[in-house]
Amino acid sequence: MKTGVFNFLELDRVHFGTPVAEALQAELQQRGAQRVFVVTSRSLNRKTDAVSQALARIQPRVVGLFDDCVEHTPRDTVIALAGQLRAADADLIVSIGGGTVIDTVKVALVALAEGLTRIEQLDDWHMRVAADGSRVVPSPRRPPCRQIAVPTTLSGAEFSDLGGATDTRFGTKHGYTGAFIGAASVILDPRITVHTPDRLWLSTGVRAIDHAVEALCSVNAQPLVDATSVRALALLGRSLTRYAEDKGDLDARLDGQMGAWLAATSIRRTEYGASHGLGHALGADAGVPHGITSCVLLPTVMRYNATACAPQLAEIAAALGDASRPAADQVEALIARLGLPTRINQLGIDRARLAVIAEKGMANPWVRSNPRAITDTAQLREILEQAWA
């Protein structure tokens, strides 16, 4: 008999289809926020008018803006942001951007909650695997403010209380969590996503597919997450194809956002597997974006796990549109059709580096929870070699 617990996040509401400026104004009125701090990306802030338009109705309450977020969230940017938030005495954060922006805020909120001012202090607050194989999951105090997330990609970061940050000293990425570091509200507006580069939009869409696939195949799958994941796969497969055919299709973009939302219900509620775990190792070691790690790893991991989760993969195949065709083949074909890489050797990474990535992967909790048990680096090396070419 299955047993489990489903945890709901401290998320008040999700606006979908509403213009950002209108939704932000409503949020400030409901929350009574007076000192709003904005966190975004440099490209979005300095090369487009998206941020200024989003803030048009709340500009008098903006007390600061940080746009120095860096891919893979190096810890020095987290500490820098935390220092600026502390100095501004912000009572609400508005994050506008992709997973990097939203994760930078999450980990900065951990730093604020615990009064951290130096990067090495973050060592005590990330999730990790202890020497005996058990998990260590620190629980920080409640931070002094919350964030409203306006995502511009399909990463799903806005729907979780898990943030990642990279220790650049060792090229490793760590996860941080806390009950109130995730978004208090989320605004899904397809209009603001028109500035997102095609490759980023499509690859984060594959990342959302990865969330749904590994949730359905999880060692502790949840009934509600199973349902949302199946619906997410159908939405994402169709929306990404429609987007590739017509980038101006706002309905396709919104369907993608809906699919990413549904897929993200699995984050921190089910254990993922080697696609996510190895993806963190590959991303941190070689600087590969998370969406691209899913492109080159997910189909291979699905095939590796075929004997352990055949019924789930059959359900995934049907959700993707063809019950008679293996799910991994459908995912790989979709990735190729979108013009994205499907093999590690397309990323310019030295093959000899796979051994190092495998070693780093063994420290990731999600590698340890893969549905087909992984107990040594040789198994990870086998997956990486199969994903190579």
286-313 pLDDT, tens per residue? 999 999 999 999 999 999 999 999 999 9
Q: What is the pLDDT of residues 135-165, one digit of tens each?
A: 899 999 999 999 999 999 999 999 999 999 9
What mean pLDDT comes out for the span 219-229? 96
Closest by CA to 315, choosing from 221, 226, 240, is: 226
253: which 2 tokens?
């973009």
- Confidence label for 344 from pLDDT (cuts 50, 70 and 90): very high
Q: What are phi and psi of 375, to 5 degrees?
A: -120, -10
pLDDT in tens, 21-67: 999 999 999 999 999 999 999 999 999 999 999 999 999 999 999 99
Let me know: does 150 contact 96? Beta carbons within 8 Å. Answer: yes
pLDDT class for 109, splitting at 50, 70, 90? very high
Per-residue pLDDT, 8: 74
> Against a cut of 0.95, is the pTM above it?
no
> Is the per-residue pLDDT at 284 higher than 70?
yes
Q: Would you place residue 345 in the very low, low, confident or very high pLDDT band (cuts 50, 70, 90)?
A: very high
Q: For residue 224, what are its two tokens?
A: 């509600």
Q: Which residue has the tokens 């220092």?
A: 83
pLDDT at residue 4, rounded to an integer: 66
Residue 1 pLDDT > 70, yes or no?
no
Burial, 47: exposed, middle or buried (Cβ in 10 Å; 0-12, 13-18, 19+)? Answer: exposed
Mean per-residue pLDDT of the chain: 95
Q: Does residue 131 surpass a pLDDT of 90?
A: no
DSSP class of residue 140? P
Q: How confident is the model at residue 6 (pLDDT cuts 50, 70, 90)?
A: low
Q: What is the mean pLDDT of residues 342-350?
A: 96
- The confidence score (pLDDT) of residue 95 equals 98
pLDDT value for 113: 97
Q: Are 267 and 208 in contact (CB under 8 A)?
A: no
Q: What is the mean pLDDT of residues 236-262?
A: 97
Question: Is 356 a residue whose pLDDT tops 90?
Answer: yes
Buried b (16+ CB within 10 A) or exposed e, 119-135: beebeebbbbeeeeeee
